Amino acid sequence: MNHPVKIKNALISVYYKDGLEPLVKQLNESGVTFYSTGGTEKFIRDLGFDVIPVEDLTGYPSILGGRVKTLHPKVFGGILSRRELEEDKVQSAQYEIPEIDLVIVDLYPFEETVKAGLPEDEIIEKIDIGGISLIRAAAKNFNDVVIIASKNDYKTLLGILQQNEGTTLLSHRREFAKKAFNTSSHYDTAIFNYFNRQEPLLVFKQSEQNSKALRYGENPHQKGYFYGNLEAMFTQLNGKELSYNNLVDVDAAVALIDEFTEPTFVILKHTNACGAATRPDLLTAWKDALACDPVSAFGGVLICNGEVDVNTAEEISKLFFEVLIAPSFSEEALKILTAKKNRILLKRKEVALPGKLFKTLLNGVIEQDKDATIEGPGLMTPVTGKKPTEEELKDLFFANKLVKHTKSNTIVLAKNGQLIASGVGQTSRVDALKQALEKAASFGFDVKGSVMASDAFFPFPDCVEIAADAGISAVLQPGGSIKDQLSVDMANQKGIAMVVTGVRHFKH
């Protein structure tokens, strides 16, 4: 059942040679015969070991500028021959095909070439043909052949060979085959997605090699994983490991803060902003963001778009929070904030984020473009006799940024660059407004002179009437209802301003 195989012949042809030397030395000590090409052949020879050029095996030189080197029956026959079949043994002997027991091969750096923005002809040349074929062939014949398709597995194989006197077991070979097919499938997905950028085929292909097991999923009884490279986006300066729910909140926080250019602090709870303020400095922004709802802020996720200094850190430290995200922290600030070991501090790096969003749904996946639209004053069309003032337009823009990133149905109330209150995730827009007004009152905010933003149109004039009676002076909505005029008429009747944007921002 273990089916041990002693490695006698190895084909080695790799692009990256770092970490290869100890493995080659171990194979040489075990009496393994090496076959190789190009730079790898020179690498092995420079170590002082004999190596047979693949050209000597096949009788053909590397041709077409290196495009064809290993694509030959004497190579693939040696990899794919089934050792237990007499017919395969006879044919291998007839055509003088050596059995190849180990294939060490990697792939041209296609993804890296694309990321570097090189011309397409250079990108195309980095589509590996021989390497991918060798990987698939060796992985297919894992019953008899070891395939190493990544430098990350050199040490693993080295340890196995040292422990088993140059022999591998079936379980080893099957595990390496699994990893190899992962390598090949990821590579092909990257190539397909490159070609599928223009006039795309409507198929869904994603592959992410980086992964991290989380403590659990949304709840303790659910398993959770993150696929991606968090270290490319954040440097974690303090605290425990990010949980599934932390990551969901961090994602929402990053998306929201990226709407702002002036100094802004946002506090989120369950992906919704419960505090937000834009001010001349972050310390004031923090204080005013916290004032919106200090109860919900407890245990929240905090994010800002400037350096956290010592004074701001002192104020933040008065609150229990889960995560704090900022582009930088002063040394003095870090001393204060790291005093409690479980506080998660993330220093954000500049990383391009995906333009597509997807998630599993029913028995498939849904995908959409990221909502990258935000309507500023220049895209707000007044529809009432009374026009919003410059200050009201600024507040409407502020409120519109928040409403875009809040669960529907939602209403956001704002005044002087500060979130006053919001109604979140309600089944009716009227309920969302009532929730916002009640919340504002509970924290001592006077909504008179504030503005209101809605994520979607008003099907009836009731929200406008309630808002105007509460003292709200300007309203933003996308418009688009067949009964839009009823809401416009109500705004005119109540003497408040209304603008429409033509863009809905549902968020489910």
Closest CA to 357 of 348, 366, 346: 366
H/E element, 225: strand 225-227
**Is residue 349 annotated as part of the catalytic site, yes or no?**
no
Distance CA 439, CA 452 (A): 14
Asked if 25 and 32 touch (Cβ cutoff 8 Å), the reply is no
Tokens of 7: 């490695």
H/E element, 366: strand 364-369
Choosing from 17, 140, 287, 386, the catalytic residue is 140
The CA-atom distances, in angstroms, between 203 and each of 277, 353, 365 are 42, 21, 10
Tokens of 136: 């698939």
Tokens of 141: 């014949």
Choosing from 186, 270, 287, 386, the catalytic residue is 270
Residue with tokens 């597509």: 356
Helices 86-94 & 73-80 angle (0-180, nearest 10): 150
Backbone CA torsion sign across 163, 165, 169, 175: positive
DSSP state of 5: E
Residue with tokens 């026009």: 387
**Is residue 140 annotated as part of the catalytic site, yes or no?**
yes
**Which residue type does 199 have?**
E
11 backbone dihedrals φ, ψ, rounded to 5°: -100, 120
Active site residues per annotation: 140, 270
